[in-house]
Amino acid sequence: MKNRCDSPLISNTRNIYMKLKPMTQGQSSTHKGGKTFRRGFLALSLAAAIIIILSVIYPTFFQAESASKAPKFTLTDVDGQRFSLSDYRGRPILLQFMATWCPSCNIEVDRLKEIQRRYGEEVAIISIGVDPTESDKRLKEFSEKRGAQWRFARDTMALTQRYGVTSIPTIVMIDREGYIRFVNTESLMPLSRMREEIDKLLLS
């Protein structure tokens, strides 16, 4: 019986291998470098995929480094009750910086009423009057007339400077842990965008 290894095909293959062997050995370092590069690339790709997945599942884990802590404050509302930002820790907070004479603020208050109807006690809403000429009485009359059933207070702690507010209305959204997650850059924040950002906070 003929040994397969003695067949012409095997013999020819062996001869070709012997001719190529020196060149293969000379390129071994190149192949090893290529393998190392591929392994490194695969490892980086896997790490990136893990980070993306975790950032979707646990968004606040990755946002904590970039988000800033909301400046603490204690104010007295239009009903004479003192309250602090820390009183609302554990649920998302929506701060509205406004004035009663601001037309866009009036429209935004109506949108905030929709937010309150939709989310109830899940989200805390606080409207802060930035005009020093407006009294507690004026703010209270405004809130009652607009049917706004959340806290209104005057800015007596320079919060516009501490929160970087440069125009009104401005909405600042704070997460359960007290970090600022969103500040609107539009003169009037769309209701759909409010819902979108609040839903993110509730899921985090």
Q: Provide mean pLDDT across the span 115-134.
A: 97
55 assigned to some structural domain: no
The answer on 89 and 25 residing in a single domain is: no
Q: Is the sign of the CA dihedral 45, 47, 51, 57 positive or negative?
A: positive
Angle at 35 between CA 34 and CA 37, to 5 degrees: 65
The answer on 149 and 108 residing in a single domain is: yes
The answer on 124 and 39 residing in a single domain is: no
- Comparing 18 with 120, which gets the higher pLDDT? 120
- pLDDT of amino acid 48: 56
15 assigned to some structural domain: yes
Res 23 pLDDT > 80: no
Task: Give the domain CATH number at 177.
Answer: 3.40.30.10
Q: Give the count of domains, the chain.
A: 2
The answer on 81 and 25 residing in a single domain is: no
50 assigned to some structural domain: no
Structure tokens, 84: 């602090």
Q: Which residues contact 178 (CB under 8 A, 6 or more apart)?
A: 69, 70, 85, 86, 89
The answer on 99 and 29 residing in a single domain is: no
The answer on 73 and 34 residing in a single domain is: no
pLDDT bin (cut points 50, 70, 90) of residue 57 is: very low
Find how far residue 194's CA is from the centre of its chain: 13
54 assigned to some structural domain: no
The answer on 89 and 18 residing in a single domain is: no
Supply the range of the domain harboring residue 28.
Answer: 4-43
